[in-house]
Each structure stands twice: as C-alpha cells, then as structure tokens.
Structure 1
Amino acid sequence: MKKDTRLFFLASIFCAVFCIGIFVWGSLSMIRQGEQASLTLGEIYMKAMNYQMQLHFRSIIELKIKQVEGIVNKTPPETTRDHSEKARQELRSSAVLRKFTHLALYATDGTAEVIFGEPVSVMDEAAFLQALNRGEKNVASGVTASGRELVILGVSVGYPVSEGYPMKDGKTCTALVVGLPLESISDAMSLNLDKSMVYSHIIRKDGSFVFRNVAVKADNYYTWFEQDGHFEGKTAEEMVADLKDSIRKGAEHTMFMTVDGELHHVHCSPLPNSSWYLVTDMPYGELDKAVEGMWNERFFTAVSAALLLPLPILALFFFYSRISRRQIAELEKARAEADRANRAKSEFLSNMSHDIRTPMNAIVGMTAIAAANAENSVLVQDCLRKITLSSRHLLGLINDVLDMSKIESGKLSLNMDVVSLREVLEGIVGIVQPQIKAKKQQFDIHIHNILSENVYSDSVRLSQVLLNLLSNALKFTPQGGSIQITLYQEDSPQGEWFARTHILVKDTGIGMTPEFQKRIFESFAREDNARVHKIEGTGLGMSIMKYIVDQMQGTIEIHSEVDKGTEFHITLDMKKINTQSEQMRLPDWNVLIVDDDAELCRTAAGALTEMGTTVEWALSGREAVVMAEERHREGRDYHVILLDWKMPEMDGPATARRLREILGSQVPVLLVSSYDWSEIEQEARRAGISGFIPKPLFKSTLFQGMKPFMDVDAGQVGSVDTGMADLAGRRILLAEDNELNWEVASAILEEFGFLLDWAENGQVCVDMFGKSEPGYYDLILMDVRMPVMNGYEATRAIRAMDRADADVPIIAMTADAFSEDIHQCLESGMNAHVAKPLDIKVLMRLIQKYIR
C-alpha cells in the first residue's frame, strides 16, 4: 500500500512537473507568437500610415503645383512679349492671391529674376534646375536672405519647346518658381503625431531635415542614427550605409533599431516630384509593455494552477489553449480587417480620382479652347456653358465625398427638386464627349415619347448614375465601338401625376460573364480575368449607383453577353412638373429631317408635328437631295431642313453643299449632332449650314433651335418675364468676411440694379443695420462663418432689436450646405438658405420672393 501510495505520489509529482513543463513551454511559445503577431500588425500599420502620408503629401504638393500652373494659365508666356512689366504685375498679383511669399523666373543656366519676395538660396539647386530644364515639375527647399526657410515649387513654362517669359537680362526663361513658408506645409502634413503611436520626418538625401519631428534632437538624421541608435547584427555605420544605398536607388527601406532601450520600427519611402524621403517611426514601447504584461500574467496563472492537481491543470491547459487559439484567430481577423480597410481606402481614392477627373477633363479642355479662341464670342460662350455644366457635376461629386459617411451608414438622403431631363443629359454628353472623341467611338442618343421633360428628382444623384454607366461603357468598349443612350417615358402605375421613365445605356464592349452579373453590385466587385486587368476601376461605383436607384424606388436590370456588349436598363417613376407646353408652337412649316437613324427621324417628326409643322424625313443624303430637288421644281421648297452630320455614303457637309446648289441660301439648313459644335463649326459654315441643334433632341431643344427662324419677333415667342425690373435701386446689406466672395457677389447683384453695402463680419453687420434708418435695407445676405461675431449670432442680435424692420429678410449665403446647417440657419431666425458656389437663378428667385 505504501509502495502504491509512494508510486502514486511520485506519479502525481511527475504529472504535475510534466504539466508545469508543458504549460511553461506552451506559454513561452504563445508569448513568442504574440510578439511576432504584434510585429506583423505593426508592420501593416506602418505601411498603411506611410502610404497615407505619401498620398497626403502628393495631394498637398499637386494642389500647390496646380496653383502655380493656374498663374501660368492666367498669364501665358506668349501674351507677354511686348508687355513684360505688365506681365510681371499680373504674375505678382496671381501669386499674392494664392498666398505665395516668393516668385521668380529661372533661366536655363540657373539665373533667377525675383519678381517679388526675398532672394532665395535653393538647396540642391543643381538637381532642381536639371528637373526644370527637362520640363518636369519639382519641389525643393530654400532659405531666404533673412534666414526664413521656404518650400520651393518649380513649373516649366515652355523651354525648350517654346520661349518662356521674357527676362530683363535677355536670357531664356525655363521655369516659373514660387515659394511658401515651410511651416505651412508642415502644418498641413500634421507630421508631429502622438509619440506613443507614430511620428514622421522628411529628409533630404544627405540626411538633413526638411521637416523634423520634435522627438529627434540632432540636426542630421544619419547623425541621430549613429549617436542614439543600436542595431542587432550590424553597426550603426553599416545601417546608415544601407539606408543611404536605398535612398540613392530611390527604393523603400524598412529597419528596426533600439533607442533608449525602446524598439523602433522605421519605414522610409521616396516622395513624388522631389528628391525628399518620408521617414515614419513607430516606437513599440507601450505596445510591448501591454503584450508582455498580458503574457506574463497568464504564464504565472498557468504555473500556479498546475501546482494544485494534474487534472485541473490538464483541464485548464485545454481551456487555455482554446482561448489562445481564439485570440490568435482574432488577431488574424484584425490583420485581415486592417488589410481590407487599407485596400478599401486605396480603392475609394482611385474611384474618386476617376470620377473627379472626368468633369475636370471637360473643364480643362473647354478652358483651353476658350483661351485659344478668345476673339470668338460664340465659341467662348459655348465653352463657358460646358464648363458650368461640368463644374456643377464636379461640385456634386465633392458633396458625395463629404457625404460618404452617410452613404456607408445607409443614411444617404436625396435632395429632391425640379430637374430638367434635357439639362441632365446635355451636361452628361458635354462631359463624356472628349473621351468618346479620343477613342473614336460612335455615340447615339434616342429620345422619344417624353411625357414631361421636367420632373421631380435629385439631379446630382441622377447625373451620378448616368455618368457612372457611361464611364463604364467608355472604359469597356474598344476603340471604334458603339455606345447608345435611350430615354423614353410611359404612363406610370402610380397615377397620372407620374411618368415612368426608362433610361437605357447600351454598348458593344467586352460584356460580362453570367457569374459576374450576379455580384456586380457588391462593393469593390470586379471581374477577375485577363480581359479587365488593364482597365482601371474599383467596383465601388456600381454599388453606390444601385443604392441611389433603390433610394429613388427604381429598378435596374442588366443584359450582357461576353464579347457582344452590355445594356443597363433603369426604370424610375418620377413626378411630373407641369409646364406650359402650348407656348412651344412653330409656324405651319414644311420640315425635312435627314438622318440615317430611322428611330431618331420618327421621334423628331413626332415632336415637330406636335408643335404645328408638317414633317417628312429621309434616311440618306442622296434621298434628301432628290426630295428637295423635286419640291424646288414644284416651287414648294422646305421651310427648314434638319441634317445629321455623320451619314454613310453622303455625309452632312456633302449633303449641305448639294442642297445649297439646288435651293440657294434662303432655306435654313440646321445641323443636328451630338458632336461638339465648336469643333465642326468652320467646316459646317463652309458647307452652308445655317445653325446647330445639339442632341439629345428633346421637344424644347428642337423649339429653341428653330425659334430664331420664325417670322415674328423672337422676344415675343415663348418669352418669360424675369420680374427683375422693379428691383433696381433696392438696397442689400452683405455680411461677408472674404473680400473675393464680396467682389463676386457684388458684381453679380449690381448687374440687376441692386445697391450693396459690405459688412466685414457679423458685428459690423449688426452695427450698420442698427445705425441705419428703419426700412433702409430691403434684405440682408448673411455669411455664417465670420470672425468677431458669426452669422447665427448676428441674426439673433438683429431679430432682438426694438425696430419696426427687425423682421428684415435675412438669407444665409454660405458654403455650409448640409441639411443640419440649413436647419441651424432657420433656427437662428434666417428666412432662407443658399449654398456656395452661388446658383444665380436660385439666389434671384429667393431675393424676388422676400423683397417686398
């Protein structure tokens, strides 16, 4: 018995020791895994933070370079040959307006002619000048004569392709160079983050600092390395040599070092448009303490429990193992979530870059056309109209970015208002035309059975949906392919006040597989095959588009076949807006429509018949010539001929020339096309074209295009009284702290005959109103964000005055445009709200409403 007891005791001791050993071994293993997991997560976090800092730097520098390019665009070199002093004044004014503190012209040999600001010594001037002479944009740092550090931005202005700005010493100008305080970039970059997390520096290739975090005391980063850094396996000199080698090659560099007993993870990466490097440093001290404390506590708990009994120890071991596995799984899940979040941010930025660049392309292109044809007022007006349309769409995209948190949380709201389907489609067509032309694609628009051109909807969201569909069609349709938009309406099941609107976007592109069609509306979904690998896109747009259509209580269907094309069909029930269609009446004309598209002929003929004309159509230029010649012999010439630009066999110009030979110059021949009129106007005029009607051919489009040829005073046909005549001489008090905004508003309102007084802030506004005679001001336009006293406080102060006119109409005129901002304006006592940038029609409608 004793022997058995002794054996059991020894066995228990052995089991206990064995269990303790197992727990000790397992705990140490888990500690190592936890340390490795923390290092892995730290590395993921470091790369993500470094990438975000790079993007932030790029966006800041690109914005500043765009401002420099804006100076060049405003005062092009070729316009300054005979007015060099005037040009310098214009350059100086543009630079001051953009808050630059230094402006100079640089010659190819590095000679600088300072236009304003102190002389600057550029660091690494040779590399900076070489980049400018190659026509590149470049960023460097410099020091003024008074010792102030500046960020230097250089943009080529023509050399060696063409001559730049004239310099006083006769040298060739290669670049325009500006400077701004170094601290302004540092503040915008927000480099001095909490030391317990991550902090960053920007260094030059020689180790000197451009921006330095307060955590580093040395004047040179390499010196700090050698003085304070400790490394495993290598000396400080070897680590510095490795870092210099990576910087020389322009490669990224990652390393670990110990400073004051604390492990640091360092990641270095090159910055665009410069020879600078971004250094991101994350100390592991706090993280290591938390992980070490957690694992030490569990280790001692395991050992203590193992001393009690083998069975509880074994049970605890299995329970502990289970918890550990779960924690490892959670760590892996957190890592996967961090990767997904990083990808989502990158994909979102890429998607927004694509969506924003589309209208920007139209804006930049139309601006260039207007600048090159400044003497052609008709062309400039057309360019300005398209710039306005693209700008409005761009503003809508910016609002989408600001509203992204609501989209992600499922709280996307629609801004329902009166929408012109014609204006929406014209705006979309104006945006995509340059891309369609570049890819030489055929683009057709079919409009028919329109019950109401004006409907109740959200124009920004509707434009966003259409632009997304067209952008995808452009990307996935090869050069020379076909893209088609069809819009038609029918009676809605919701009643006579609604119109069921069908929008179809069809292309002859690469199509989609049935499997991908089932998940196309998932966020970031893209078809994973070789056909789409070279096509940019994130897959975010389709999910947002689907959400918008669902919010509009509509449906979207897809019909697609691989290598045959895709068709999207959107159906929306939209509330009709009553219009006075009886005003759109044309004389009893005989009209000939010439187009190879039979559907377009039928649609246009129906609209023109409703407006009182008699219509015939021809599907080719030769047929049209025969028909016109026959009527001419009979003395029954057509009153108006509508002619397509692109037709097979005999195109629009050839047909127009033949018609002019037969009919002379008396019959108007109007061009109907989705092409940009400014690009084809000269050829069209030479062929005898009298005017232009753009597609899409809505009823109102046809009426406005043919209205100038009516035998009555154009001012009496379809005119609308603006109601502005009785507002001349009315006085408005404008509270606005921004002088540029004041100039814009005053220039607009004074054209309508208003008399304006300017208050620089809310307090001045209250004082001016309080000192004025009762009834002196007819209306107050109030900015919200102002110094001394904001717009809300100023409104409440005016409403509290003991005056007969304390109820003077006050309209908020502000860039704060969210629904909660509008509500706060009304709560403070304002009568209405109008958002910046100003929509003149909306502003004048409000003024007309509230001025008595």
Structure 2
Amino acid sequence: MNAVLGMTQIAKKYKSDPDKLDHALEHIASEGNYLLTMINSILDINQLEYGHMELINKPFDLEECMYDSIQMLRPLAKKKEQTLRISSDVHEHIVVGDSGHFSQIMVNIVSNAIKYTDIGGEINVLLEALPENRYRFTCTDNGIGMDQEFIQHICEDYSRAEDSRTSSSEGTGLGMSVVKGFTELMHGTLEIKSEPGKGSTFIIETPFAEPTQKEREIALKSASDSQMNIDFKGKKVLLAEDNTLNAEIATELLENIGLVADWAENGELAVQKFEQSENHTYLAIFMDMQMPVMDGIDATKKIRALDRPDKDILIFAMTANTLTKDRQRCEEAGMNGYISKPINLKEIEKTLKEHIDI
C-alpha cells in the first residue's frame, strides 16, 4: 500500500514528464497486483480453514494458463533486473480442472521466488506432462534459500523467515499456505528443495482429468476466438453498477475497446433502460451483483422474463464473490458469464470474444 500511495504522489508530481510518469504508473500497477494477491491470500486461507473452498472444474489450456499467470509477474522481476525464464513441453493441451486455483498456486510460488531472489538473479519455470494425467510445475531460483527447519514450517499460516536473510524483503508469508491448501484440495503434492545461499526449488504435481472431445473442441475454439480481432467500435453495452468510481473505471475500460457504455445506477434502472430500448440496442449487459433497490440476480431474472426477442442478450456478472455457490446463483439466474472484480480490460475483451458468435 505504501508503494501504491507513494508512486501515486510521484505520478502527480511528474505528470508533465512522460517517462517518469510511465515509470510510476508501471510500479503502481505491479504493486497493486501484488497487493491484490496478498488480500486474496488472506481470504483464501480463511475459506480453506473453514472448508468453504470449492473447486470449479472446467476445460482449459494448461500451457496458456501458466503463461498468462507468470507474464503478469514480469514487471516485478524486471524491477529487480532478474531473468525470468518460462518453458513447457505441454502444447495446446486441454485438461479439466480448476484453472483459477492452479493459476494462484503458480503466481504465489513465482512471486515468492522473485521476492527472495537478489537483484540480477535467475528464476526458471517449467511445466511438464507426466504419465497418468499428472502434470509437474517446477520453479527454481538462485535466491537466499532456506534451511530444513524453516522448510518444515513454511506452509504454516503467516510463517516467514524473519532473520537477517529476509529482513530486507517485504512480504506476509501467506502465499505458501495458499499453495499448500490449494494443492491438497486438487489432490496434488508439494515438494520443496532448498539450501541457505543456494536457492530453492518448488515442485507441484497435480492430476487433471482428460476432457471429452467436445470439451476439447470448445476450449480450443475459445482460445482461438480470444486471439481474433473483433471490431467493437460504436457497439453499445448496458452497465449496471451502483458505485460511481467503479462505473467510471468500467466505462473507461469498455471505451478502450470501442464500446459505448450506458450506465444504470442499480438493477431496477438497468431493467427500465433495457425495456425502453429498441430491440438489439445492446451487445451485452455487465451486471454488478450487489446493488441497492434491485441486485444483479433479480435484474437478470426480470430481463430474461421479458416478452421481447432480445431477452436472451448476453449478461455478465461483475463481482468479487468467488465461491462456487455464487457462480451457481449467476448461472441459475440466466447469466452467461462471470467477470471477477477488480475488472481488467483483458478479461472483458476475452469474455466477450468467447460468447459472441463470429
């Protein structure tokens, strides 16, 4: 938080200096993502402890999941002038599993490697296919390393090596608790090899189910569609969001890909705007889940019950809720998809491309 607020002040100071402004904004983005990871870790630990965490198993491209997860950490490695290498022998391989939790496992491991590896260090990431539908994710660094006693405690809640080797590194130590919890939830194994001053190696082995031929074709088509260029310029979408700042952010992101956002401050107004519009005015509706007057679930049900030809319009939930039951409520209400908060442009564009007939 200190880095985000500090860099925000620097950005304001150098708003007339493009290079320094870009530098500050890059740091704000990378530190903001790290802060989000830390907050999610705290929430995840709580859900794991009380047995509320559930898997959401769907077909996904394993290699693509790894690359997308690690790429977001490159700015952190770049800041420390580290070499971050990614390799894989798993190409266009569709599996069935929880891509979100697998992504969080990889992000937590690699972010820890970046944190505890000195400036100019090296981090190597490898994804391999094993027999019997098992897969191995390995992260090796030449960082500070750990002794055997600390390795025994590394996955305990809030554990962190508070000694002279780590005193200069910031962190909460929550990540490895999440890694261990998610790995066990996915029926996988975690192995840690390390020596003080010689770096560390983290090895995750986890099983993933094989998809049906239809699931594989859908997943590959989704990946192909996400790479296609679609012209959204001038197309209208309805945005239901009660928070003014969130609405401003969403509107800007939607406009970045050419969409025109029509804002409704709650679910009731969203239904009214849709009812009063001509058929097929909107390409899609982005629906916040928790709003006053009428929430996103009820608003979606009312839209689906309307007597008009475009009542099957694409409706995407926008929410920070991550439990399976919340996703099920969205699906039962008739929503087509789910966009996690805080929202980002890449996810919006990818979600639209996956659902629009090309």
Post-superposition shift, 1:406? 1.6
- Structure 1 gaps of 5+ residues are 1-356, 437-442, 580-719
1:399 alignment counterpart: 40
Post-superposition shift, 1:527? 7.6
Structure-2 separation of matches of 1:454 and 1:373: 44
1:745 alignment counterpart: 250
Post-superposition shift, 1:539? 6.5
Structure-1 separation of matches of 2:265 and 2:86: 53
DSSP 3-state at the match of 1:745: helix
User: Does 1:431 pair with 2:76?
Assistant: yes
Q: Is the 8 A contact 2:123 2:139 kept in 1?
A: yes
Residues 554-569 of structure 1: pairs in structure 2 closer than 5 A: 554-560=189-195, 564-569=197-202
- 1:831 pairs with one of 333, 336, 339: 336
User: Does 1:461 pair with 2:105?
Assistant: yes
2:49 alignment counterpart: 408
2:296 alignment counterpart: 791
Post-superposition shift, 1:533? 11
Structure-2 separation of matches of 1:799 and 1:818: 24
Structure-2 separation of matches of 1:395 and 1:539: 14
- 1:728 pairs with one of 233, 236, 253: 233
DSSP 3-state at the match of 1:804: coil
Post-superposition shift, 1:554? 3.6
Structure-2 separation of matches of 1:731 and 1:738: 20
Post-superposition shift, 1:454? 8.1
Post-superposition shift, 1:369? 5.8
Q: Is the 8 A contact 2:240 2:265 kept in 1?
A: yes
TM-score by length of 2: 0.72
Residues 652-663 of structure 1: pairs in structure 2 closer than 5 A: none
Residues 203-218 of structure 1: pairs in structure 2 closer than 5 A: none
Structure with the bigger RCO (C-alpha within 8 Å, sep 6+) is 2
Structure-1 separation of matches of 2:160 and 2:33: 29
Percent identity at matched positions?
29
User: Does 1:801 pair with 2:303?
Assistant: no
CA gap of 1:364–1:454, structure 2 versus 1, over 3 A, is farther
- 2:136 pairs with one of 469, 479, 500: 500
Q: Is the 8 A contact 1:558 1:569 kept in 2?
A: yes
2:213 alignment counterpart: none
Greater shift, 791-800 or 747-756, is seen at: 747-756
2:223 alignment counterpart: none
Structure-2 separation of matches of 1:544 and 1:380: 35
CA gap of 1:815–1:375, structure 2 versus 1, over 3 A, is same
Q: Is the 8 A contact 1:369 1:383 kept in 2?
A: yes
| Matched pairs, number | 331
1:387 alignment counterpart: 28
Q: Is the 8 A contact 1:546 1:556 kept in 2?
A: no
- Structure 2 gaps of 5+ residues are 211-215, 221-226
Aligned-CA RMSD value: 4.1
- 1:451 pairs with one of 71, 89, 93: 89
Tell me the amino acid that sits aligned with residue 488 of structure 1.
Answer: L
Post-superposition shift, 1:827? 1.3
1:546 alignment counterpart: 180
Structure-1 separation of matches of 2:333 and 2:344: 23
Q: Deviations over 1:242-268 (max 9, x none)?
A: xxxxxxxxxxxxxxxxxxxxxxxxxxx
Q: Is the 8 A contact 1:390 1:427 kept in 2?
A: no
Post-superposition shift, 1:507? 2.7
Tell me the amino acid that sits aligned with residue 428 of structure 1.
Answer: L
Structure-1 separation of matches of 2:261 and 2:342: 19
Q: Deviations over 1:94-149 (max 9, x none)?
A: xxxxxxxxxxxxxxxxxxxxxxxxxxxxxxxxxxxxxxxxxxxxxxxxxxxxxxxx
Tell me the amino acid that sits aligned with residue 229 of structure 2.
Answer: T
1:570 alignment counterpart: 203
DSSP 3-state at the match of 2:262: strand
CA gap of 1:520–1:758, structure 2 versus 1, over 3 A, is closer
Residues 577-616 of structure 1: pairs in structure 2 closer than 5 A: none
Post-superposition shift, 1:846? 2.9
Tell me the amino acid that sits aligned with residue 558 of structure 1.
Answer: K
DSSP 3-state at the match of 1:507: coil
